[in-house]
Structure 1
Amino acid sequence: MTSAAVREAPATTPAPGASPGSRPVARFRWLRPGHLFVSGYVVLLALFGVVPVAYSFVLALTDPAGGFAGLSNFTRTARDYRFLAACGHVALYLVIWLVSLTVLVVVLALLVHRVTFNATRTFIRFAYYVPGALAGASSVLLWLFMLDPTVSPVSLLLHWTGNEHFSDVISPDHLPVLFAVIAFWTGAGGWILVLYGALNTIPAELMEAARVDGAGPVRRAWSVQLPMIRKWVAYMAILSLAAGTQLFVEPELISQASFGVVPNDYSLNQLAYQYAFSQNDFNGSAAISVDLLIVTLLCAGLFVWRGRLFETE
């Protein structure tokens, strides 16, 4: 080998889109278009998600003077007589809400997907989505009107079920079901459309093969369609769990409308609010928030694992 050949620089292939004479800058080779698309979300997540959570942990582990308090704030709030009651209220609501949401949304999405007329299908999708256009507070105010037997358009049904007065309808025993109904009415339509879109991604050849093999509509839905949209169902359960644990607007507005029939510490978020703004105990409020965050993350991790959300086919 000659010395000229040794001194010759190795040839490099120009990057796609680069001119033949340009040389890529090595330190920017890791950048991809996807990084640009998610950069705005990452910045907002850091500012309004990660930073507040980190600050909550700091508050939960310190005392009002700023000294390290260990787990004393957690034990102190857990011994509050309102804490376990609020946990029970939120847990019961979540069970009713998640089970009814998963079952009814999947069934309704399957029914819409089986509709053959495009005009009918479009109208049903639009009707499902309309309640989701209302903000949370607006939907609760609407339901306050619906649940008052004196002015409700379904007053006959309320009287038939033995609810003669507004206080009878919003008794604490009825609240988990009422909150689940309000949440379903507000948020289920959007999820029906999401699962409907997921059902449209299933290859028609696969459904036709199942039909040729003798599988009926129920069998095809159970053995073909549900496994194919499993990840979307898990995704719906995770986001609905995160929203459900933050139960605040519904009990807060009903508490104000009932003039004390419903307590203002019904949910954990309400209790944390009372600690912060009624008792001026931000450390205790942060401890309750961190408790709620940890439980939510554990449950979300279970849904991710059971739903195999990040597995590739």
Structure 2
Amino acid sequence: MTSETLLEPRRPGTTRNRVPSWRTIRAVKGAGFSAPFFLGFLFVFVIPVGYALYESFYQKQTSGLGIGGRTKEFVGFDNFSRVLEDGAFWGSMGRVLLFALVQIPVMLGLALAMALMLDVVRRHLAHRFRFSFLVPYMIPGIVAALIWMYLYSPRLGPLTDILDTVGIHANFYASSMIWISMGNLLTWVGAGFNMLIIYGALQSVPREMFDAARMDGAGELRIAWSIKIPYVRSALVLTGMLSIIHMLQIFNEPLLFRQVAPQTVTKDFTPIMMIYYQAFDSSDYNYAAALSIVLALVVGAVSAVFYNLANRGQK
């Protein structure tokens, strides 16, 4: 092919077959792999939140003493104003946040201790203990709650009889004990999952650092405090943020405890319980939607504040 042929302009009406570049092919494949996630995110999160936001701007009005039926009217931000003035909702929010300030550090501390213990045992033993620690998390939440409710039962459970033998008379369903009872349950279920995340972060720590520290005379406790824990700080931040999100949305456990202690676990005991009863007991779906939107904003704000405070020292 001569240089004249290369410089010859294309004739009108002719096209060249353009082969897609490898970057385009890679981008298409990546979009194909991520499409299921985005579809699920759209139908499970975006659309429900959008629908809840839409419903929160309306209110169903009853006319003619109920005989004339109910009409749906646009009320703007009236439902949100009602949320801001609802002491029961904000009381449940504060109740859960105070509980989280105690339960989450205890659970994460236990998960960290379990992960550190697994890191010092032999590898073949670590696999066995890791599975044993993770078993409570694999149990469905409803089943786990029923197990602990049986253990707490004053007539059938063994815990009351065991404590009675040492002179301790405990009522696990009393108002002074109900949070401790649920805290035991949540710690038992969640410690294994958080331990697995922290233990995975520990495996990425260079082993040469431990050998060098031992040669300098450092013991295992000193190595754990000065090397291991700082290296898993990001994992602790992640587990802490996930625990806060879960705690503000706690529902299954108090709902089941309400069946045996309705005077202690009221309908507005937690924010999600209040939303549930507003929607399906009082049939006030519009107000429940407004409560859901406000709860989502609070969860996002608290998570963002915690994340920024926890990572401030790393900047």
Q: TM-score, normalised by structure 2?
A: 0.83
Check conservation: 1:251, 1:264, Cα contact below 8 A.
no
Decide whether aligned partners of structure 1 residues 216 and 67 sit closer, same or farther in structure 2, where only a CA change above 3 A counts: farther
The answer to whether the aligner puts 1:46 opposite 2:42 as a matched pair is yes
Q: Give the corresponding residue for 1:24.
A: 20
- 1:46 shift after superposition: 1.0
**Which residue identity lines up with residue 85 of structure 1 in the other structure?**
G
Match of 2:155 in 1: 150
189, 209, 213: which one aligns with 2:212: 209
Q: 1:106 to 1:8 in 2, by over 3 A?
A: farther
Q: Could you tell me which residue of structure 2 aligns to residue 283 of structure 1? A: 286
- Aligned: 1:250 with 2:253: yes
**Partner residue, 1:130:** 135
Query: What secondary structure is seen at the aligned counterpart in 2 of 1:55?
Result: helix
1:260 Cα shift? 4.0
Q: Is 1:225 the counterpart of 2:221 in the alignment?
A: no
Q: CA RMSD for the aligned pairs? A: 2.8
Corresponding pairs, count: 294
Partner residue, 1:190: 193
Query: Which of these residues, 294, 298, 308, is aligned with residue 295 of structure 1?
Result: 298
2:149–2:257 CA contact under 8 A, matched in 1: yes
| Displacement of 1:207 | 2.0
Letter of the aligned partner of 1:162 in structure 2?
H
The yes-or-no answer on 1:111 pairing with 2:117 is yes
| Maintained 8 Å contact 1:247/1:269 | yes
- Matched letter for residue 35 of structure 1: A
Shift of 1:72: 1.9
**Residue pair 1:275, 1:281 contacting (<8 A) in 2 also:** yes
State whether residues 146 and 154 of structure 1, in contact with CA within 8 Å, keep that contact through their aligned partners in structure 2: yes
Residue 38 of structure 1 and its aligned partner are, at CA, apart by 2.5
- Specify the SS of the correspondent of 2:156: coil
Distance 1:174 1:71, change over 3 A: farther
Cα separation, partners in 2 of 1:216 and 1:63, compared to 1, 3 Å: same
Query: Once the two structures are aligned, what percentage of the paired residues are identical?
Result: 26
Q: Call closer, same or farther: CA 1:121–1:52 in 2, change over 3 Å.
A: same
Range moving further from structure 2, 134-143 or 73-82: 73-82
Where does the alignment leave 5 or more consecutive residues of structure 1 unmatched?
10-20
Larger mean Cα displacement after TM superposition, 228-237 or 205-214: 205-214
Give the whole-Å Cα distance in 2 for the aligned partners of 1:28 and 1:266: 53
Q: Which residue of 1 aligns with 2:88?
A: 82
Q: Does 1:162 align with 2:173?
A: no
- CA shift, 1:30, in A, is 6.7
Q: Contact 1:238 / 1:303 at 8 angstroms: preserved in 2?
A: yes
Q: Which has the larger radius of gyration?
A: 2
Q: Report the counterpart of residue 176 of structure 1 in structure 2.
A: 179
SS at match of 1:169: coil
In the TM superposition, what is the alpha-carbon distance from 1:23 to its structure 2 partner?
A: 1.1
Task: Confirm whether residue 120 of structure 1 aligns to residue 116 of structure 2.
Answer: no
In the superposition, the TM-score normalised over structure 1's length comes to 0.83
| Separation in structure 1 between the aligned mates of residue 311 and residue 9 of structure 2, nearest angstrom | 53
SS in 2 for 1:280: coil
Worse overlay, 131-140 or 169-178: 169-178
Measure the CA separation in 2 of the matches of 1:147 and 1:188: 20
Separation of aligned partners in 1, 2:232 and 2:22 = 41
Shift of 1:67: 4.6
Secondary structure of the equivalent of 2:58? coil
Note the 1:66-105 alignment, pairs <5 A. Answer: 67-105=73-111
Any idea what the Cα deviations from partners look like across 1:123-163, whole Å, max 9, x if unmatched?
Answer: 32121111112111111111111011322222244434322
Distance in 1, Cα, partners of 2:184 & 2:222: 29
Query: What secondary structure sits across from 1:154 in the alignment?
Result: helix
- Taking the aligned partners of 1:142 and 1:292, their CA distance within structure 2 comes to 30
Q: Distance in 2 between matches of 1:174 and 1:155?
A: 13
The alpha-carbon distance between structure 1 residues 181 and 7, as it changes in their structure 2 partners (threshold 3 A), is: farther
Give 1:206 shift.
Answer: 2.0
> Aligned to 2:27, what secondary structure does the other structure show?
coil
CA change 1:206–1:29 in 2 (3 A) is: same
In structure 1, what is the Cα distance between the partners aligned to 2:124 and 2:161?
34
Q: What stretches of structure 1 move > 4 A for 4+ residues in a row?
A: 2-9, 25-30, 65-68
Unaligned runs of 5+ in 2: 11-16, 61-70
Shift of 1:8: 7.8
